[in-house]
Amino acid sequence: MSETKNNIRVFATCDIGGEALDVLRKRGYQVEVYNQLEPPPKSLILEKVRSGVDALITTLRDPIDREVFEAGKGTLKVVAQDAVGFDNINRADANEYKVPFTNTPEVLTEATAEFAFFMLGAVSRKLYPSERLVRENRWGAWHPYLPFLGDEVTGKTIGVIGLGRIGQAFIKKALAFDVNFLCHDSSFTPSDFLSKVQAELDLRHSNGFTDERRTIQTASLGNVLAGSDFVSLHVPLVREGATPTFHLINEKTLRMMKPTAYLVNTSRGPVVDEAALARALKEKVIAGAALDVFEREPLPPDSPLRDPELEDRARLFHHFASAGRITRLSTDPNRGMAGRTVRSLIDVLEAKGSLADVPCVVNKEAFR
Ligand code: GLV
């Protein structure tokens, strides 16, 4: 039985899942939850932090910056983010105030990767226009090619930009669709992974599962964009530095893509210049796009992506890719974001050694 921690106060800016929060309560932590659908105003986060909470549980909706760390000076000991992405947390500020923050890697990799693939199929095989046709009673007659056709995935080339965990999981799932891959990552090349994928593609061919030998290759960003029938984005949002990803997909890069190609984004909204994308869709520079993330979330009512003219070619989802029941709520830190978030929070608050050794602490550099 672990020693109880009655004096530890946690403020969760969102109900990340009752069972997971109960893990903290059972440990004796005092847990207060902001139980609304909307995120709390920043002023409330500041108020709670000023009141001396030891830990914040945050989501990607909460701006966590110098103001928050200043308010928690001497008391705030950890920010546990219920997401793998953490671009809402200012790392330099966290480091300056020596506050560790954690994220939820691994647990949402598979859910996000499979959703990216479903989005890809949904936009290219026109699942939404087809269902709408039936629901709106506009399905006049079966016809070989009217009122529209979709584009097959099988046999095509998929461009994967970003070869981290989610990009790799996406490739592992997509390879069964008998496709070629063109990949690009500006920071590293996972050679061992790429060789294993090629071996798998070769095995599928030698076993007679595919008529043609399929390949996986790395290429420059331009060559991936120019050579792919689908482009799926799996990069973190990086606004500064040598290899920023902010507006990686813009007017110029969209024009490098084939007019028959589809763009899929499950990474972060600002990786794509949405105004440029809306124009590209309208002018048929590319065939379609499926987006789960946006520059502003929720997507503003006046977003050009909502243009009814684009409805059949732009699939829009509500930042939903990791939203599988187990992935979001499991209390198992190896399966669920909620479980991983509370585990990391406990690991930090009850750490015996250096915080640099605590798994899931993102800003380890501040504690070395
Ligand atoms: C979701 O987008 C996440 O970063 O976990």
pLDDT digits (tens, 9 = 90+) for 26-58: 999 999 999 999 999 999 999 999 999 999 999
pTM, full prediction:
0.95
Q: How many residues does the chain have?
A: 368
Mark whether 132 is an active-site residue: no
What are the sequence ranges of the domains in the chain?
Answer: 3-107+325-367, 109-316
Provide the phi-psi class of 270: left if phi over 0, else alpha when psi is between -120 and 50, else beta: alpha
Chain segment 264-274, per-residue pLDDT in tens: 999 999 999 99
The average confidence (pLDDT) of the chain is: 97
Chain segment 278-305, per-residue pLDDT in tens: 999 999 999 999 999 999 999 999 999 9
Give residue 109 CA to ligand 1 midpoint distance, Å: 10
Give residue 121 CA to ligand 1 midpoint distance, Å: 21
Query: What backbone phi and psi angles, to 5 degrees, belong to 177?
Result: -90, 15
Question: What is the pLDDT, as a whole number, of residue 1?
Answer: 43
Neighbouring CB atoms inside 10 A of 351's CB total 17
CATH architecture of 3-107+325-367: 3-Layer(aba) Sandwich (3.40)
Mark whether 319 is an active-site residue: yes
Q: Does residue 146 register a pLDDT over 70? A: yes
Q: Does residue 182 register a pLDDT over 90? A: yes
Give residue 346 CA to ligand 1 midpoint distance, Å: 21
Contact, 217 vs 181, CB < 8 A? Answer: yes
Mark whether 297 is an active-site residue: yes
- The alpha-carbon radius of gyration of the chain (Å, integer) is 22
CATH architecture of 109-316: 3-Layer(aba) Sandwich (3.40)
Provide the phi-psi class of 155: left if phi over 0, else alpha when psi is between -120 and 50, else beta: left
Distance CA 299, CA 295 (A): 8
List, chain by chain if needed, residues with CB within 6 Å of any ligand 1 atom. 60, 83-85, 108, 322
Q: Write out the E strands in 168-283.
A: 180-184, 216-218, 230-233, 262-265
